[in-house]
Amino acid sequence: MASRKEHHVVPKDGGWDVKKAGAKKATKHFDKKSDAETFARTVSQNQGSELIVHGKDGKIQRSDSHGKDPNPPKDKK
């Protein structure tokens, strides 16, 4: 089980699924990755979770924190 709330955009059956970490079923399926990312970002912002976007190969391409980041960036002064 994940220690933080996460939502993932993952490739599935020629399209893209938005899934909550640990869920067996997708929240929603999309034909286009951009549509899946837009939907997932909204969900992630509303729930204060981490958004993790995967590539076609399943590897993580990028992530974006919308909640309380346990490791926030340090200011450069």
Per-residue pLDDT of the chain (77 residues; tens, 9 = 90+): 445 789 999 999 999 999 999 999 999 999 999 999 999 999 999 999 999 999 999 999 999 987 665 666 666 54
Q: What pLDDT, on a 0 to 100 scale, did the predictor assign at position 63?
A: 92
**pLDDT score, position 37:** 97
| The token pair that represents 53 in the structure block | 């976007």
Residues in the chain: 77
Per-residue model confidence (pLDDT) at position 10: 97
Asked whether 65 and 41 are in contact (CB, 8 A), the reply is no
Parse the chain into domains and list their residue ranges: 6-59
